[in-house]
Amino acid sequence: MKCEYCGYDGDGFEEGEFGFWCPDCQGLLYKNGKEDYSQADIILEKPVSDHRPIIQKSRLKKQLSPLRYPGGKSKMIDQLLPYIKGKKYFVEAFCGGASFGLSLLESGMIEKLILNDLDPNVYAFWDTVCNEKYEELIDKIRKYQPSRESYFLYQKRMLKASISTIDRAFYFLVINRCSFSGIQTANPKSNMEDRWLPDTLIKRIKKIHSMSNQIEVTNKNAMELIEEMYWNPDTCIFVDPPYIEKGDCLYPVKFHLHQELAELITELLRETICNDPQVCRIVDLPVYYELKTNNGNRDYRIQIGGHYMNYNTVYVGMDVHKESFTLCSCKYEDEKASHYQRTPASYKNVLRYLAFLRTIYGEDTRFVCGYEAGCLGYSLYHQLENFNVECVILAPTTMLEQRSKRRIKTDKRDAEIIARSLAQHNYSPVHIPTETDNQTKEFIRMRDDHKAELKKIKQQILSFCLRQGYQYDGSGNWTAKHVKWLRSLKPAGLYKEILDEYLLTYTILTDKLNRLDQRIEELAFKEEYKESVSKLTCFLGIKTHTALSVIVEVGDFQRFVSARKFAGYLGLVPGQHSSGDDRNGLGITKAGNTHVRRLLVESAQSYTRGKIGYKSRVLRSRQAGNSPQVINYADRANERLRRRYYKMVLKDGKKYNIAKTAIARELACFIWGMMTDNIY
């Protein structure tokens, strides 16, 4: 016997159900002879004239799925249908919305549909639809009224591992239907009611459940499933992996997994996926590796060891200022940007610029706009998002070329650098907070501005009294006795009026701060913040104001893969300037969010005093009502940080500020653990 794949003609062939396994390459030699799997459909990276035409449009129902997905396959069922040749089983390795498989099953073309997705939310939804709990899901759909508050609440709850399958399925459906392009991490659409169609959703779910005896839902690694099902000649496998571009922030799939998937399919098919300049997909039986549509709407491709390129995407760099915007565009393969334009500062002018680019690149072109984080905040982002324009805010320090390294700086060059950074993905995007988080953040920062004004007026009052020869002999300034003493002073002439005006300002600011703090307490008891604030206040030195500030400033703690990454984001990790054998440690990097870093350094001062392991009545009252696991985690943190501070100062001889900053860094790590449920 001779292997038809690798040519091995020795001994050791092992007989299987469908044929004989080659001991050298592990290929399967079918008992009825090798089937023709070699005619791979290779599509060039740019549109060509010899695409296989649609001979006749099918009558398959294409809108059976309740889910919305970017790049969903309902529009390309007719293109894919000719590749199905009477197989009994159809496997969707990355099912997502599962529109293709559901259409085939409903039409009777297949006997069984296997829906697989490693995403726990997608799996929970399809599992619920196909089991006896689907009526509970339908009941929840009937009762739900779309709102931004519930949307963000469900978005946060989906991150928890402890929620039930039915709740996870419902939360996922709400987020999928009401978000931009069905993306789980995106903000809600402004017209949520138009996206939430309960009667239609219920009708589709009932239809799918009626076919549930022919559907198997799995939660496996796609590559393992492909390798397992490939050798069954009655099975057709459809492989439609998540997007490569932005895929790692939309789905739990990294680029190296795309490479491994391509290599697996290459090995199974015994065909080489060309490195350059072509292979966008292999569409063949029994495996479909779909990375490009025939209808010209999208052009995605993968190269083993290469980079992803989308030739239908144009990246628009925007150097934005208060008075003017400078715009330019480029594609991935372009060496330089083009179509420069300077325009008055308005999102409407950006939309006009995109309309102009469509006349050049075509109506189906995808545009991605970007600008550096700066004075405009999130306003331009939201204005463009309302018109369904993809926009990214770039963190300046992570871009392709930082400003500090530029010898010549102009608005035109800045716009080009932004466009090239977008095209080559050499940047980190700024996290976009929810509208509720952003409003709360701005309110707290406004309160902190008044706090700074109060501090300034206190200094002015003390300086004025000292210039007039008045000194307080009491134990501390700004106690009730000290304020009473200030009011009792009677300097001569106009000095008395000056002191009274100072004290009036002090009183107004004090009363305002008390009122604002009360309002912050009310905000902290809102449903979306209550649990998180309660957890954070279990730490020493963190009260409601600090806890709520950290929550709304950071937003999604899950975007940091580790506590170290979170501490680095706050700029609390030490820098380094080393070369060769020369090692030079620097101070903390001070990157990232200055506001949160300052709050944590202030909180760290609480660990510089007190007995190790001691818990005050105030701290006990803040911890009351939390789970024993949360309290135990916070107590471990409080004890460790106090012990570490005393060791650094008393034993190691570290300076006070250095030790305090080190404690702030560790406190940030403990906060990350608390907010991501890594407390065990």
- For residue 23, pLDDT over 80 is answered with no
- For residue 680, pLDDT over 80 is answered with no
- For residue 373, pLDDT over 50 is answered with yes
Distance CA 394, CA 372 (A): 5
In this prediction, residue 567 carries a pLDDT of 93
DSSP code at position 94 = T
In this prediction, residue 402 carries a pLDDT of 58
Please give the mean pLDDT across all residues of the chain: 80
**Which residue is associated with the tokens 């009941």?**
139
Distance CA 426, CA 401 (A): 9
Quickly state the pLDDT bin for 342 (edges 50, 70, 90).
very high
- For residue 331, pLDDT over 90 is answered with no
Q: Which of 3.90.1150.10, 3.40.50.300, 1.10.1020.10, 1.10.230.10 is the CATH number of 120-214?
A: 1.10.1020.10
pLDDT digits (tens, 9 = 90+) for 541-553: 999 999 999 999 9
In this prediction, residue 8 carries a pLDDT of 75
In this prediction, residue 308 carries a pLDDT of 33
Distance CA 223, CA 234 (A): 19
In this prediction, residue 169 carries a pLDDT of 92
Using a pLDDT cut of 70, give the percent of the chain over it: 78
- For residue 1, pLDDT over 80 is answered with no
In this prediction, residue 334 carries a pLDDT of 79
Q: Choose the most confident range, by mean pLDDT, from 76-80, 271-275, 532-536.
A: 532-536
- Provide the residue type at 106 as one letter: E
Query: Residues 277-285: what's their mean pLDDT?
Result: 28
Distance CA 443, CA 514 (A): 14
> What is the location of CATH 1.10.1020.10 in the chain?
120-214
Distance CA 445, CA 524 (A): 15
Residues 6+ apart with CB under 8 A from 261: 222, 223, 226, 239, 241, 289
In this prediction, residue 53 carries a pLDDT of 36
- C-alpha distance from residue 184 to each of 195, 291, 328, 492 (Å): 15, 22, 30, 68
Lowest mean pLDDT among 139-153, 241-255, 456-470: 241-255
CATH 3.40.50 fits 53-118+220-307, yes or no: yes
pLDDT digits (tens, 9 = 90+) for 517-549: 999 999 999 999 999 999 999 999 999 999 999
- For residue 449, pLDDT over 50 is answered with yes
Query: Residues 444-470: what's their mean pLDDT?
Result: 95
- For residue 282, pLDDT over 50 is answered with no
For residue 277, say if its preceding peptide bond is cis, omega within 30 degrees of 0: yes
In this prediction, residue 258 carries a pLDDT of 58
Query: Residues 85-97: what's their mean pLDDT?
Result: 80
Lowest mean pLDDT among 122-126, 197-201, 257-261, 292-296: 292-296
> What is the location of CATH 3.40.50 in the chain?
53-118+220-307
Alpha-helix runs per DSSP H in 489-610 = 494-524, 527-536, 544-554, 563-569, 594-604
Q: 3-state DSSP call for residue 14?
A: strand
In this prediction, residue 447 carries a pLDDT of 96
Distance CA 265, CA 268 (A): 5
Query: Residues 404-424: what's their mean pLDDT?
Result: 84
Quickly state the pLDDT bin for 103 (edges 50, 70, 90).
confident
- For residue 221, pLDDT over 50 is answered with yes
Query: Residues 355-375: what's their mean pLDDT?
Result: 90
User: For residues 429 and 394, is the Cβ–Cβ distance under 8 A?
Assistant: yes
User: For residues 117 and 101, is the Cβ–Cβ distance under 8 A?
Assistant: no
Quickly state the pLDDT bin for 92 (edges 50, 70, 90).
confident
Quickly state the pLDDT bin for 85 (edges 50, 70, 90).
low
What totals of helices (H) and strands (E) does the chain contain, helices first? 24, 16
Using a pLDDT cut of 90, give the percent of the chain over it: 48
Q: 3-state DSSP call for residue 459?
A: helix
Q: 19 φ, ψ to 5°?
A: 175, -150
pLDDT digits (tens, 9 = 90+) for 558-568: 888 889 999 99
- Provide the residue type at 375 as one letter: C
pLDDT digits (tens, 9 = 90+) for 223-271: 888 778 777 777 888 776 654 444 444 444 444 565 566 666 656 654 3
Lowest mean pLDDT among 142-156, 298-312, 612-626: 298-312
The class level of CATH for 313-424 reads alpha beta
- For residue 356, pLDDT over 80 is answered with yes
Element (H, E) at 116: strand 112-116
Q: What is the DSSP string of 308-371?
A: ---TTEEEEEEEE-SSEEEEEEE-TT-SS-EEEEEEES-HHHHHHHHHHHHHHH-TT-EEEEEE
- For residue 67, pLDDT over 70 is answered with yes
The CB-based long-range contact list for 339-347 (8 Å cut-off, 24+ gap) reads 340/412, 340/415, 342/411, 345/320, 345/321, 347/380, 347/383, 347/384, 347/387
In this prediction, residue 194 carries a pLDDT of 73
Lowest mean pLDDT among 430-439, 456-465, 504-513, 517-526: 430-439
Please indicate whether residue 505 or residue 176 has the higher confidence score (pLDDT): 505
Quickly state the pLDDT bin for 304 (edges 50, 70, 90).
very low
> What is the location of CATH 3.30.420.10 in the chain?
313-424
